[in-house]
Structures are given as structure tokens and as C-alpha cells.
A and B are shown apart, each in its own frame.
With several copies, the nearest count.
Chain A
């Protein structure tokens, strides 16, 4: 990737750049452009070219500016790039700004129905008279708006070399069995394509060419992977309250669970998905179900997290297995509901008043979204506590390439649960059973579920002080013992949660720690920095509380950059709180503007210090 660093990220002169540029499509939301963009991505993917799409959409249903970036990268980079080389300009309210952003040598494909004539002469412009082209079709007026964006799909295909056959195949996959829809869209795409073929005589310097890099891979959104993971985790109850960008976790769970978990004979469901009246109720239902012995989860985002605080504290203190997916968006407050962020790390980790701490899993890609989807339940039931999975809008709602997911390699771990018979044995062995009685020394007691037919199975769950027999207590020593056990219990998870992924090089100049969707940018930055003769060891953290490996990693480096997509450098703070003695080795690279991280930002930030 050295070339990218040396040359500015631009097309220069007549040189053709193949499979290494970023397209930005500027449209108006609610006009079907999402289908068009996903067609472009899927078609590129079918051509074997590594690709990634990011939707930058407004908090609104229809009529506002929306951008979609599509990165084509022969080297397989999937992070966002700051510069876009190819612009598809369909939105008259942003076209002036959109064109300004193009680098010299960039390509602008624009709807010439917009009364605006691009004036820059350092870019290549291609006009699409979209309405005129639509006039050639016999598409009904009422449908026109919904398909007119297909024009740019066709024109773009011609301009940069996307194969029409792959577009058609993608259409078929998108609308399986709906030949009419496919034909209608295809007819418009072909017109766009034909128009471009006839009228664009200057070739685009940015082109795609078939590769073989996507075989055996698939495209998916993180929220779908999460839902599929939960499905293979055997989720029994999901309660949720709609909120962007988390809603599609529930939507996808409905889809997958109705596929796999409807009893063939009776047509009945072995799961319940309940739309709650708010987030307080959603998490309440999760706790009720988790307490009753089910695998229960909710999915939400910032404002919902805030509302779940009180119950989160209760889950920790009363030790109720439960799972919250937090698909992070930009806060504080309602913030930017349709922008991505890693800003809820601290809030989630310590959610609730008093001294609280929650296990957090930090997926960075689809495979982990799937894996943590099922594993979160194992962990929640094993440690009898609330488990957060902190995804974000970027991972959750964008299309990512992935290898197929691995089937869970372990049977479900339901944790320490005693049925009536086991309860008898337990009592035989330990004289008495106590819900919070730590007989194994790991801080984890044994549960007996409601409905267990045993006269001693019952206990009382509460958020107030209680002893190991689950009896109410205001005693000071009991409180300290209980909190100490709880602290130890969570600490005991440190080496049992998903461990950090470490990639080392010989004689690294420094270390980098990151988590979640910052990963692709770090990976790309690593290659770019190599061009500056700077190399680093990279640790990607995958869970809180931190693994002991984090200390070792930091101890092995004089300088460790902590890269994260938030304002306050929250992971860095967590590391410092855990390892104050290593604090001076850390440098925080924290930034949050709502857009996914770029390699350039990391490179620039590091180079400022090095």
C-alpha cells in the first residue's frame, strides 16, 4: 500500500486506477436509493472484488440528503476512506458541496436534471439526464420515483465497468421469484447503461476488473449476524423497543427464528419476541425471563441504555443472566441517531448507580457479531450476570464481507443450574443450598429455577442486601462479603471471555490497542505506516473486564496508542483505571464525528507523535 501513501489519494492524468477507489452516491432518502446502492455493492462483490458499503443517512424518513460510500479495494481494505474518487450526484440540495469535496482528477456522474452545471475543470463530469431517460420507459408514473435511481446504477456500471450480468444476478437475489420487479429495474438499468455507452466518450480513470477475492464469502449486515448468532445461541425471549440503529436486530431475529424455531407439527413458536412499551419494560422482561431460566436478550441504543440503568444494576446485584446488545450511535442525549460511535463503552461497563460492573463483549466484524451472538448467553449464564455486546451502527447496519460463520464449537453452557435431583445431591454434599453460597470458590452460586419441584428450591430474588442464603440482610459484614464475592466473580471472567487478538511484528516501534469497528482502519494504517518505516504490534481487545494479556502487552511496549471512536478516550480510561502503573505508556487517539474511522486519521495522529 506504499503507493497510496506516497501519491496523494487522487487519480492523476491518464493513469487508470483499477479496483482501488471509493465511490460516493449522494441521493435523497426514501427514494429507493438503498436498493440501487446495494445492487452496486453486490455486483462488485460478485465480480470477486473486495468491497464495503457505508450508508450515511439522516434521521428522517424521506426527502433528506443521504450518502452512500462504496469502497473498492483490491487489497481487501474495508475501512472508510476520507476521500471519494467517484461521485454519483443525485441530490440537488447537496450537489454543490458534494462536487467541492471531489479531489482533482475525480469523477462526477450527475443527474443533469438538477439545474446545476459543474464548473470544476480538474474533474471529469458525466451528465445523466435521468428524467429524460425515464421518459423513454413505459414505467407507470406511480412507480417512477422508486426506480429512477436505477439509472445511475446502469450509467455507473458502464462508466467503471460493472458487468450487467452480475447486476441482473444481484437483482434476482434481492427479489427472488419476483421476475416482474427484476425486469422493471433491469430495464431502467439498461437504459442508463446504454445512455452512458453512447454518450460518455472520455473513459473513467477509475475502473473495476474482475478478481477472485470474494469466493466463499458473503455480504451481510452486523445486526443480521447478531440476530443469527442469537438464534444459534438458542434465544428464548427477546424483548425490544424500536430505536435506530438497533431495530434491525429484532427484525432479523424475527426472520431467523420464524425460520428455525417454529414447530413443524403445530406451527407454534418456541421463542417469544415481544415489542415492549419502552426500554424499561424491555429490560424488565429480559430479567424476568432470565430469572425464570431462559436465554433472554434485548437490543437497544444510547437512550435505551440510559433508561435501562436501574435494571442493569439489579441484574448485576441479583445476578440474573441477561444480554443487552447496544448498537451504539452518537451521544450524548439523542445525539446523532443515524451516525456511528463507540461512545457508550464507559456508560455500559459501569451502568447503574453504586459500584457496578458489567461484562462487555466487543465484536469487530461479522464473524464476531455472530459468535458473540451465541456466546453472550453462555457467558451470561455461566457468570450469572448481565452481558453487554457493544456493536455500533457501522457494524450493525452496513454491508460487510465475511467468511461463512463457524457453527458453535461448544454445546450450550447453561451455567450452574440445579434440578430437583441435583439439588438433593447438593444439599447432601454441602448441608444446605444457598442461591449465593459460593461452594466452588469462583464467586458463582447455584441457581434453582422457578418451577423446580423441590421444597427447598425456592428463594427470594431482590435488589436489596442479602446473604448467601438469599435472605434479606442489612448487616455490614454481609454486604462487604457479598460485594467482594461479586467483584471477584466478575474479575474471574477476565481470562474466560473472548481474549484479545494480538498481531506482532519483529521489533515493533510501538503498540496499538483498539476494539470493535476501528479495526479495519487500524489494519490499513499498519500497512500505510510500514511505508514510513514505522511498525507496530496490534492488540484488539474483545471484552471487558480486560484480559490479563492487556497488561503484558502494554508492559512490552514503551508507547501504546489506544485508538477508539469516541470523544473521551474511554477504553484508554478503562485501561488506566485497571493498570494505573502503566498509565504513562498510553497515548489516546480518540475521535468521534459520527463517521467510521479512517486509516488516514490514525496514521496522521500517530505520525504527529512519532
Chain B
């Protein structure tokens, strides 16, 4: 008998349709990591919505969580669709998948603004530096100097998704690599538990068009140039496991940084060199990302975390009940209410 999680669901129950992406595509690995994470966290599939734009990356929601609703939207417009859905049903868990073209080019505006609104939602960018689905044009995240078979050398500075996210006001920003499954899963778990917008910039090589030696987004380059900030571990909420009173959402213990999530679960960041990295320091986060950028390193880990930012639901001052669950009794004011207004206006 297949193994099951605490919901009595097998891993199969978290799978989607067979992938039609290229064998070896980084996006497939990420789909698998999403499947594993959801299984491990025992997330109820029906509570998840999968959102995406257009691109190979944006196709991938069809290939995981087949029991969850999906909305494959328009190119660059996933954020607005997610915002609308989450505004009216706060009980859902939104997992958005986008590409570097989808987010960094046509979707730049919506990307920036969904962060400002801090919509509770996981926003994954499957970043391969090219437009896969349209066959290998440079995208806005392609590094300077990288050549493409048909399109020559890219001479424009790359959009750094993580830097844009931090500067743009995202409350959770992480970077990882599709070939680092443990890290991706830990960050994904934390992102799902985060009460706000969580940006995950995942380098995800395109084997068809950008996996050459000259590419900074090839498997080989990324593997050799990973700069891992810390070892990330996600610890689900264990009641009473800890009886130390703490006020801070982030604190250090034995050289480990502990980040308390909204629901009491935790991210443990184990240092990998002398200093431990405090992800709540926005300025330090910018500095590190900038530095990695300059030295063409792929800095991975939880780059930035701001626990207290008000979410869309806070700002909109929404009732706890998801709006979609309200009946006509609440939604349509009474006849008396109308008559009263009419009466008032008649005088």
C-alpha cells in the first residue's frame, strides 16, 4: 500500500497530468518539489489554487496538484487574477507560477504591484533567462554577455527578480535553484505558511535554449556558482514544543536564526560560514543580493522577511468569513434599506 500523509492522501493524490515540458527542464523539478511539499505538509488539495501566466513555466500548474483548481491566465497577468481570487476567498492557499519573461518583461507592472498589496500568495518565478515557449529569445533576466543561438549576445542589464522584490516591498523574498530540492521545499513550505506575498525566484534551467556553457543559467554554471546563504529547514508548528516566551518573530539561538511564521511554524536558518544572516534586515538583504549580482553568483536562501506587514485582507479590512461564502442575506441589503435611501434623496 502506498504511503499516506496525515490526510490519508498518497503522493499520487498531489500529482497532476503528465508533463509535456522537455525532459530535464528545471520546471519539472520544481513541479515535483511542489508535489512533495504539499504532500509533506498535508495540505488539503481543494484549498489550493494554482495560478499562472503564459509560458512553459506557466503551463506547469497542470502537472502538479491535479485536485486543486487552476487558472492559467494571460501573459504577465497572473498577479491580478490571484489578487482578485484571494480578495474574495481568504481561506484559499494561492500558488502562483510564472516565468522570467512572464514576470520580468510583460508582467513587471503587476509583479511590482502585487507586492505592494502584500496579497497572501506564493509567487514562484521559474527563472531560466529565456522565453522557452517561444523558442529561446533573451528574457529580461538574462545576464549581460550571455549569447543565444538566434538572438546574439544580450547587452542589457539583467532584471534581478529578488532585488526588485525586496525594493518593491515584498514581505518574503527567497531565491533557490531547481536542482536544490531540499532548499526549494523548505522555502516553499515557509512561503506557504507566510501570511503575505512570498516571492520565490527559482533558477530553473531551460535545457532546450539556455543550458549552454556560455549561459549563467545553465545547470553547470549554477551548480558551480551557488552561494548558499544558510541551510534552510522548515519545522511545522508543534504546539508546546517550546515554552520560551518570545516577542520577536526572528531570533537567534546557538548561531541559528529562527523565523517564526504566522501560524507558529518555523524556519530555521543554519549558518554555513562565520556569520549568520538576519533576513529581516532589508538593507543587508539588498547589499548581499547586489554583491552576488556583481560577482555573478547565485545567492540562495531566505533573503528577506518582514513578518509584520499588513496584508491585502488587513488593508481592505475584510471580515473573517471568505466573501464567497456569504449568502444573499448579507450581500443584498433589505428593501427597507433601499426605501430609506430613496426617501432620503427625495427630500
Contacts and interface: CB of A to CB of B under 8 A. Distances in A.
- Asked whether the complex places CB atoms of A and B closer than 8 A, the reply is yes
Interface in B75-123: 75-77, 79-89, 91-92, 105-106, 108-110, 112-113, 117
B346 A404 contact: yes
A476 interface: no
Interface string B46-75: 110101001010000110001111111111
Given A63-B20, A236-B324, A451-B47, A285 B330 contact: no
Given A228-B341, A237-B87, A303 B56 contact: no
Nearest to A240: B137
Contacts of B322: 451
B23 interface: yes
Contacts of A1: none
A256 B140 CA distance: 25
A462 B72 contact: yes
B331 A295 contact: yes
A353 B10 CA distance: 43
Nearest to A239: B84
B133 interface: yes
B158 to A, nearest CB: 13
A452 interface: yes
Contacts of B105: 241, 277-278
Contact of A61 (B62, B85, B106, B132): B132
Contact of B22 (A63, A235, A242, A407): A63
B84 A458 contact: no
A284 B72 contact: no
Contact of A460 (B62, B81, B318): B62
A233 interface: yes
Contacts of B21: 61-63
A268 B317 CA distance: 6
Given A231-B333, A247-B134, A274 B74 contact: no
A237 B326 contact: no
B279 to A, nearest CB: 27
Nearest to B207: A62
Given A218-B346, A295-B331, A289 B87 contact: yes
B338 A407 contact: yes
Contacts of A254: 150
A549 interface: no
Nearest to B77: A284
Interface in B189-248: 208
B347 to A, nearest CB: 6
B135 A61 contact: yes
Contact of A236 (B113, B331, B347): B331
Nearest to A471: B17
Given A236-B326, A405-B342, A457-B46, A303 B319 contact: no
B197 to A, nearest CB: 15
B266 interface: no
A314 interface: yes
Interface string A246-286: 01000100101000110100111111111111111111111
Contact of B46 (A220, A292, A295, A458): A458
Nearest to B75: A303
B170 to A, nearest CB: 15
Given A60-B20, A268-B319, A287-B81, A458 B45 contact: yes
B332 interface: yes
A436 interface: no
Contacts, number: 268
A106 interface: no
A459 B71 CA distance: 9
A161 interface: no
B15 interface: no
A294 B323 contact: yes
Nearest to A472: B62
A458 B72 contact: no
Interface residues of A, number: 94
Contacts of A383: none
Contacts of A232: 332-333, 338
B337 interface: yes
Nearest to A289: B84
Contact of B342 (A274, A290, A404): A404
B263 interface: no
B122 to A, nearest CB: 15
B175 interface: no
B262 to A, nearest CB: 19
B345 interface: yes
B304 interface: no
- Counting chain B CB atoms within 10 Å of each CB, the highest count among A30, A292, A461 belongs to A292
Interface string B8-37: 000001000000111100000000000000
B129 to A, nearest CB: 14
Nearest to A251: B150
Contact of B338 (A269, A405, A449): A405
Contacts of A333: 74
Contacts of B47: 451
Contact of A268 (B112, B318, B339): B318
Interface in B122-150: 131-135, 137-138, 140, 150
Nearest to A333: B74
A464 interface: yes
A397 B234 CA distance: 50
Interface in A368-399: 374
A455 interface: yes
A325 interface: no
Contacts of A412: 328, 331-332
A333 B73 CA distance: 10
B253 interface: no
Given A277-B109, A451-B47, A461 B72 contact: yes
Contacts of A275: 137-138, 151
B335 interface: yes
Contact of B345 (A64, A220, A231, A461): A220
A113 interface: no
Given A268-B317, A451-B89, A284 B22 contact: no
Nearest to B208: A61
B332 A233 contact: yes
Interface string A185-220: 000000000000000000000000000000011111
Contacts of A334: 54, 74
- Counting chain B CB atoms within 10 Å of each CB, the highest count among A235, A251, A280 belongs to A280
Nearest to B132: A61
A460 B73 CA distance: 10
A285 B66 contact: no
Contact of A277 (B85, B88, B110, B320): B110
Interface in A320-345: 333-334
Contacts of A218: 342, 345-346
B316 interface: yes
- Counting chain B CB atoms within 10 Å of each CB, the highest count among A218, A279, A294, A314 belongs to A294
Interface string B274-318: 000000000000000000000000000000000000001000111
Nearest to B338: A407
B66 A61 contact: no
Contacts of B56: 61
Contacts of B339: 404, 407
Contacts of A294: 84, 88-89, 323-324
A244 to B, nearest CB: 6
18 contacts: A58-B20, A61-B132, A235-B331, A247-B134, A260-B333, A261-B330, A261-B331, A266-B319, A273-B316, A282-B80, A285-B83, A291-B71, A292-B85, A334-B54, A412-B331, A453-B46, A459-B69, A460-B71
Given A274-B312, A289-B85, A333-B74, 12 more contacts: A232-B333, A271-B323, A284-B79, A288-B85, A289-B84, A290-B84, A291-B85, A405-B342, A412-B332, A450-B89, A451-B324, A457-B69
Q: Which 10 A-B pairs have the closest CB atoms?
A: A288-B84, A284-B80, A234-B331, A285-B84, A278-B106, A294-B88, A288-B81, A289-B84, A404-B342, A242-B134
